[in-house]
Structure 1
């Protein structure tokens, strides 16, 4: 029997994981992630509302888009203003290489693209990969357009071993400024070349492009791996796996039609560099949505405080599976395994926000869903990462639980998880929203 279970776990086919792979492949940037989420919401009958308009009290599904963030919620018919929320949170961004404001550069007859390091990627994982380029172009009229060059365009070429004879003995040492600028052709660099090219790819006039938010990504598609195809090798599992599961859970909860809470999906940008932006978890977006939802239904200040006092938030982000080659890096009594179900993250120093009450909430959701769960605690001698969980707990004063799916190769250009765990996570989140 797996941990966290009083009976054998449910079994799933791979439909959910197949859909995750398609979702990730269609979403190479946070802006593509929220567009993909919005398309699924619209198909389910949700309607987009804008922050500059007055919001009505109409029941049903609504969502707000801002940059690389999306907040979606569903108001059941007749829900009073003090109705609590059930929030499932994730983030849309992943560590990568991002294009600088002056992107065109070159050396020794090679044309290159100037990039900046975003978040904390495993730098060596970006070497000798076929990279595409995606993101958004900002136009002079204030609008934006998505762009995605989904084919081998860039490459960060590694130095040959013949020119670095000791690399396999002393280790690879990459200078972030000099060694990670990708090449994309031959010849002399000219200002405007890259943006001219991308504007043409997007069907735009380059003169209309006033700004850009662009990033490189690995174009190799997701793939099942292993003797029994029990693993999924995939880019951006951190944290599109959670965004996808949260979206599926919200839509499944709405479809169930039995809601005592207002279910909310909160997918933030900029978690990988601290969440400090207007679209990050430290920003006001989620709080504004919850406040305005209460007020739109006729609620006053007291109603809002009552709603938040009863609100619970599950923060979903990937975590570390025990690594077979580095087991000593993990806490010896906490070894999360692939396909063992979602992990409940605990850190008494509040790098994760889970406490005993939160643990009970998530354990009940897993039990109701028929899925196992595991525990994650960092090795005491190593620093612990963090998530949007403690930020949202402190900012909004809401009970928060940190969970996720255990993976290997976190922050690599290509990560690895158990092929069953994404469906386990979605089922647990669905039960959390409906229990």
Structure 2
């Protein structure tokens, strides 16, 4: 039976994503009503620029007073797509206090204050859903939170930023330099005028915090995530990667320690074998590779950003929250029972690719090998090329801790025969 009284929805933000959410709510109104069990009514839209023409939205619904909108008391669901920390945080908690559940796409806020928001939702008996906060249209939060709830997830390895993947893919496929690839990404609309959040890994780090928290039932905040950008990746790095049968991706990596007693979360460029499923993810697409005890290896792939893909995830949450609302229940909240400590980056163990500029004379390789041995880092392969008194030395290690590798590099820089450390790249996915 269809309930005739509509679910009232307020929209906070009406930019690229918000306007697409409003459009789909209108054009797919009958389908959404059938799937939820009640009609959905857009009851208000909070914006910063009220004079802007918004096709398909009744101007009478538009307001600049977002606080008054969420305090109305008759709202069922508030959709927050304004981003940032404030006023989004206050508006979401105010919505809970005045009887509304919340659907959000705000990765930065959830990574920083997810625990407090979940606590506020639980206190008021409301839902907090945020599928759109990570990887756009790709169903990822719900599978981790619900479908894999009976499994033990050990690792989440993913490309979660389309801008950086486009840039690195362009560098790999055409031989372009970083700046040239960034300029093309900007011209095509994949990169913002200020791309810092993407290329320095801030966007991916926020998503890594959310994924790690859900996967490991542990509170992981943005400050817990090691972050390294990709602006220093060069064409030479890609040439070295190809010689190893690898490519380079900016990865978000969330791992459970081998003894299960702690977790780590990190974002950085890494070489991965061409045989790995993530190596074939091209352009601005996202993909996340999940490894768990019972289900083994799973991969989630699709468009990770943009108005329509992100709106799709928002509307999926809206349907779920609407059904909960009609049933007088709420969906799963925060699961942080494991409370595992988050280990520092120094304890992460992986392989490394190090490129050194060295003097081309006898004994250099022996000196370098001695430094690695003194710091407990085992060498897998060495490749050396020399000409006119200068040489490059490429060392690929076996698995070692990040702290041990850091000590090794510091000692290498002190050698008279080492003129510079040209590149350090982690090797993942093997």
What TM-score does the superposition give when structure 1 sets the normalisation length? 0.23
Structure possessing the higher radius of gyration over alpha carbons: 2
Which protein is richer in helix relative to its size? 2
Greater RCO structure (CA 8 Å; 6+ sep): 1
